[in-house]
Amino acid sequence: MKKIIIAGGVLFASTVSATPFEKPEDAIEYRQAAFTMIATNFGALAEMVKGRKDWDQQTFSQRAQFISQLSYMPEEAFKVDGTDKGQTKAKPAIWSDWEGFSAKLDKFQGDMANLAKVSLDGDERATKRAFGEAAKNCKSCHSDYKYR
């Protein structure tokens, strides 16, 4: 039984690691969709942080959880050959400085995981601080790796 479970796990892991993209355009569309969902949720959080919408800790936390999960989605789509061309705002620096981009992406994922965690505690001030830290990293990555 143990061998079957291990074999199943290996098969599952190899299946998950294969990308679902047949063409570079599919990968570009996928990562743009993921970033759109991240931006939509992050924008809703920003509205609360800036006081433009009433503070709702439960909604904030839920959206922070969404963003944390979504933050992992775009990475595989940057690794597909040919996704540095076409209908994209991604700068060539992503691929010429993969180490730097990857470090910022890792920080983004960590910041979003932290924001999700902190938001669960219900401390509005701590949540807003975590949001501010996450927003700074978003802005720096956009400056270095995305055309406006």
pLDDT of residue 14: 46
Question: Domain coordinates of the chain in residue numbers?
Answer: 24-74+92-145
Q: Other C-beta atoms within 10 Å of 20: how many? A: 9
Average pLDDT over residues 95-108: 95
Quick one: pLDDT at residue 137? 83
User: Is 141 annotated in some ligand binding site?
Assistant: yes
Mean of the per-residue pLDDT values of the chain: 89
pLDDT of residue 142: 86
pTM of the model: 0.84
86 or 6, greater pLDDT: 86
Q: Are 90 and 83 in contact (CB under 8 A)?
A: yes
Hey, is 119 helix, strand or coil?
helix
1.10.10.10, 1.20.120.10, 3.30.420.40, 3.30.565.10: CATH of 24-74+92-145: 1.20.120.10
Q: Residue 75 half-sphere exposure, CB side, CA atoms within 13 Å?
A: 17
Contacts of 133 (CB under 8 A, 6+ apart): 111, 114, 115
Per-residue model confidence as pLDDT tens digits over 118-147: 999 999 999 999 999 999 888 888 889 999
